[in-house]
Structure 1
């Protein structure tokens, strides 16, 4: 009898541990770690670029807190997205944590709330650590989290506005970095931010060409759904050409050597060439390869700017 009791207790404990492990995996999966970590790296990169030629880098703890704020904001938005999309995911991606019942809706909502509070806490700690008069970090964390929630609830299916919100969240990293470092806006940092904004906005519009049929079935009113593939090609290309204009200050007033301006000019020529071809040939495959190419160009441009920034700071 005593042996049977301990065997039952052991099995129950094993089941509890297994259930707990599944919950933790589900919680992590809901946050989409690659997206959240990318946001953390992006805001630290934006902050580093905002230092310019004479700026003094922050200490490790400050960078960690700033990266954490971006991570928690993005993680909250990812969890909230799955909560909002529960019905659609139950049909299209039933293996996701919520539809597969790896985690309950109540637990997911608690998790999303915790991440939101963690983002707010990170913002408060940053402002306190830097002794800021206006709580920039707190305001940035709250406003971006609420904007992403609004995107999940309303803007996602609105087409152009929804695309703009996605692009703005990237620009917001540079707005925040500029305010934190310079207590205002500088032409260089905002040029990089607006370049990223229009590049992402244009890419999102072009992405709609690839997803026309799926978006129609989901009632997502993208430019491609409303105006067709050619219309989306024209609008997306127009936004990308505006992005190119924001590289002019970086080309004419470079920080460091002439390598960055040369690379930006080459990238701009590739973008222009690709946009003209897309307008002539707005097929799903070409739009998809164009969107992917522009992502690589944008990432390489940021990496080049970061390397240049490191060289400039070390040289000074």
Structure 2
């Protein structure tokens, strides 16, 4: 009898431990999704690429580089959390089950707590890098809050802001380790800006129904989906054109005639070209899938600039 009771207690303990572990992992996954930490990985690469190119090699002050990365990571996580908090109703209307607040995996107050904790940490981290980084972080952070609270309702301005946030990490990384911003960094930032702007217009196409219910006027509502697709295609093609400048025109840089860079950037350009072509010729392209594919293309682009900085082909 005692043995039976002990076995039952042990089985129940294992059962409770398993479910507690499963609940904890689900909660951690939801918090990860809330903060979009996969974007944090890309931010790390972007800041690192900006620092390497701006410094002309691996920076000697790795502490500053680490603080610059923490700044980007904390601000990204904080502002994405705040964004989901203010977007919860429109995300429900758009059936955004990829958002943890919509699924109910985390509570709205969790998003607020994440913002309150991480936003100040991001600004403080930038302060310990240098004054330029502090100013960039403070301005970007305040713009991010304005976007989350009301600027996103002015869709065209909001889209420009999102595109800016995809370009500024490269400049931020360069400024963290160097007083000068090389031309290659401006080209890279411009490519990221154009690609980011195009991705946001694609998102507007996906969110037309929810935006209409919220009384928000996005670009596709003004010019129609087909014309919006054409503008996106133009941005992607402009970005691919800029990507060839370092290889063919920037004499005296590590990217000039660099086969490693060219090989990787071609993977990016092919993806963007295929997407741009389909957006132009297809009446109803799979926008959601293509938007995810642009993220893959941008990863290859980051690897191209990173690989080109370290390897000569």
Structure 1 length normalisation: TM-score? 0.75
Residue in 1 aligned with 2:137? 141
Q: Distance in 2 between matches of 1:90 and 1:207?
A: 15
Map 1:101-116 to 2 at 5 A: 105=109, 109-116=112-119
1:162 aligns with 2:162: no
Residue in 1 aligned with 2:120? 117
222 and 180 in structure 1: CA distance in 2 versus 1, 3 angstrom threshold: same
Please list the CA deviations of residues 120-173 of structure 1 after superposition, one character each: whole Å capped at 9, or x if unmatched: 21112222xxxxxxx012112211111111111223233332222111001111
Equivalent position SS for 1:246: helix
Residue in 1 aligned with 2:182? 186
37 and 255 in structure 1: CA distance in 2 versus 1, 3 angstrom threshold: closer
8 Å contact from structure 1 (residues 27, 103) kept in 2: no
Q: Distance in 2 between matches of 1:294 and 1:101?
A: 28
Please list the CA deviations of residues 183-223 of structure 1 after superposition, one character each: whole Å capped at 9, or x if unmatched: 23321111011011101111221333344334333444222
Residue in 1 aligned with 2:84? 82
Residue in 2 aligned with 1:49? 53
Q: Distance in 2 between matches of 1:79 and 1:296?
A: 23
Q: How many residues align?
A: 285
Residue range with higher mean Cα deviation, 85-94 or 291-300: 85-94
Residue in 2 aligned with 1:201? 197
Q: Distance in 2 between matches of 1:220 and 1:267?
A: 33
CA RMSD of aligned residues (A): 3.5
Please list the CA deviations of residues 22-64 of structure 1 after superposition, one character each: whole Å capped at 9, or x if unmatched: 9x95866643433344433432233223333xx4423443332
Residue in 1 aligned with 2:70? 68
8 Å contact from structure 2 (residues 271, 297) kept in 1: no
Structure 2 length normalisation: TM-score? 0.75
Q: Distance in 2 between matches of 1:278 and 1:101?
A: 35
Q: Distance in 2 between matches of 1:48 and 1:258?
A: 16
Q: Distance in 2 between matches of 1:255 and 1:218?
A: 49
8 Å contact from structure 1 (residues 46, 177) kept in 2: yes
Q: Distance in 1 between matches of 2:105 and 2:235?
A: 41
Gaps of 5+ in 1: 1-17, 128-134
Q: Distance in 2 between matches of 1:241 and 1:29?
A: 31
Gaps of 5+ in 2: 1-19
